Amino acid sequence: MHLKIAHLYPDLLDLYSDRGNVIILQKRAEWRGLRATVDEITVGHEPDLSEYDILVMGGGMDREQGIVAGDLQKRCENLQHAVATGTVILAICGGYQLLGNYFETSGGQRIPGIGLLDIETVGAKVRMVGNVVAEMEIDGVKTNIIGYENHSGKTYLGKGVQPMMKVIKGYGNSGEDKFEGVRQGTVFGTYLHGPLLAKNPTLADHMITLALKRRDLSVKLEGLNDDLEARTQQKLYKRLVESR
């Protein structure tokens, strides 16, 4: 089976090395004997995004977000079609904001999003920075998630929009409601860096499984030896929670 991954705007949206998520997805597929390929797509490229199983988009500065915002408008219909066919999207920080209705900078400039998610983001004067511990339900199981946030944008969810996680330590979407990110079907938006999937292999496998089910609903991933990752995450969790 072939897992096709697209890294969107790696030249513009990779402020915090979010490309690490792409590497994790590719490697965890390959370690199971699957073929996994990565294409880098940026301004001026015109592929059919629905041909990909997973799309990954990272974060960037306001200037770069403005450039990407203009290009994303041209891809809006194609992205909607990709989601309708089951493509998984992982959008982090700036990429997350651009999937929403708009991002308004602290200076008052409004950068339009594509409205794939019913969220709105407003820039604050004080940045929200630090380690995050959260809880996410994956296949009915409550799972600890660890990451790192560094954002000034406060993201507010529209009516009926479901958060991706519940914050145990950290700020999350706005620092006000103790929620982090958004999950809408196969679309995941989050502020968590780390890289996120390197620190949370269970989440990486969940996304790979969702992506492969586009082609075969009966697919089940073989287990990997994640003992080291599990012990590391447990130690991080304990240290971070106890330091609250």
Distance in angstroms (rounded) separating the CA atoms of residues 142 and 46: 39
Nearest to 75 by CA among 48, 111, 110: 48
Residue 21 CB coordination number (10 Å): 26
Q: Which of 7, 93, 151, 206 is catalytic?
A: 93
| DSSP-derived 3-state class of residue 196 | helix
Among 7, 151, 193, 206, the active-site one is 193
Give me the residue label for tokens 């996680």. Answer: 165
Catalytic-residue membership of 76: no
- How does DSSP assign 31-92, residue by residue? TTT-EEEEEEE-TT----GGG-SEEEE----HHHHHHHHHHHHHHHHHHHHHHHTT-EEEEE
Q: Is 193 a catalytic residue?
A: yes
CA distance 159 to 179: 14
Residue 229: Cβ within 10 Å count: 15
* Annotated binding-site residue? 127: yes
Q: 90 - beta bridge partners? A: 56, 188
Question: Which residues make up each annotated binding site for substrate?
Answer: 127
Active site residues: 93, 193
